[in-house]
């Protein structure tokens, strides 16, 4: 619900539909497509795991994230390997462009002081481009940090704000008396609680007791 209902990257695509009916159809279809996509990814991972049991792909100390590109370079035919690598880069560029556009749009539109209530389309476009460059530099800095396995890192970073964001949208939708200040306080309080739980959980050593789980 959070990723498909509140994520700016998805919402901006839904708003580009011709009408509300097409937007709803796209949203429902996206859910089924994502389910099929993740099933396919998991199947590829299982197949690579089985293949690596018979033909080791990684050397000692090499990251597990390198198993797919290593398989493409070593085992796939030259032409097909190039097509698959180009496909991976194309998907990465598509996601990156959508994320950068969403970050820039949210920054410019949600902070009127930054835009100065700008009404000139040309100046507004130049400001948006500069904000896009700033966010691009920020994301590059985040990419240089070692987060561990890429899949786990991506899901962890995405899941942290999604709960608070979904709660904010549900509050605004279901409670007409909700005010902006209270909603913002609740969202940041929820985010702080999630970060605290995540931090506490990662520093715990769990011991199975006869009647309970001790930490």
pLDDT at 141: 85
Q: Which of 2-11, 39-48, 121-130 has the lowest average pLDDT?
A: 2-11
What the block records as the tokens of 158 is 């995405």
Look up residue 66 and give its DSSP letter: G
pLDDT of residue 133: 92
**Among 47, 68, 45, 46, which residue's Cα sits nearest to residue 57?**
68
Spatial separation of the C-alpha atoms in residues 187 and 181, rounded to whole Å: 10
Mean local confidence (pLDDT), 105-119:
67
Q: What is the mean pLDDT of residues 131-153?
A: 81
In the chain, where the domains are located: 146-215
pLDDT for residue 206? 47
* pLDDT confidence tier of residue 8, bands split at 50, 70 and 90: confident
> Could you tell me the pLDDT band of residue 137, with boundaries at 50, 70 and 90?
very high
Helix axis angle, 67-75 relative to 78-110, nearest 10°?
Answer: 150
The string of pLDDT tens digits covering residues 163-210 is: 888 888 888 888 888 888 888 888 888 888 888 887 776 555 445 554
């Amino acid at each position: 619900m959070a990723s498909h209902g509140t994520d700016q990257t998805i919402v901006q695509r839904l708003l580009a539909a011709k009408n509300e009916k097409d937007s709803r159809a796209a949203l429902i279809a996206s859910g089924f497509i994502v389910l099929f996509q993740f099933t396919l990814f998991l199947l590829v991972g299982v197949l690579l795991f089985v293949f690596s049991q018979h033909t080791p792909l990684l050397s000692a100390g090499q990251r597990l994230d390198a198993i797919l590109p290593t398989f493409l370079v070593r085992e796939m035919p030259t032409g097909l390997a190039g097509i698959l690598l180009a496909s991976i880069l194309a998907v990465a560029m598509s996601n990156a462009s959508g994320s950068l556009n969403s970050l820039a749009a949210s920054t410019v539109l949600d902070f009127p002081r930054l835009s100065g209530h700008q009404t000139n389309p040309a100046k507004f476009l130049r400001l948006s481009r500069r904000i896009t460059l700033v966010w691009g530099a920020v994301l590059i800095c985040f990419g240089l940090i070692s987060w561990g396995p890429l899949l786990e890192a991506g899901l962890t970073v995405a899941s942290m704000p999604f709960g608070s964001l979904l709660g904010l949208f549900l509050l605004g939708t279901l409670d007409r008396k909700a005010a902006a200040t209270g909603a913002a306080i609740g969202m940041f309080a929820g985010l702080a609680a999630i970060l605290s739980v995540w931090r506490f959980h990662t520093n715990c050593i769990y011991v199975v007791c006869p009647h309970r789980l001790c930490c």
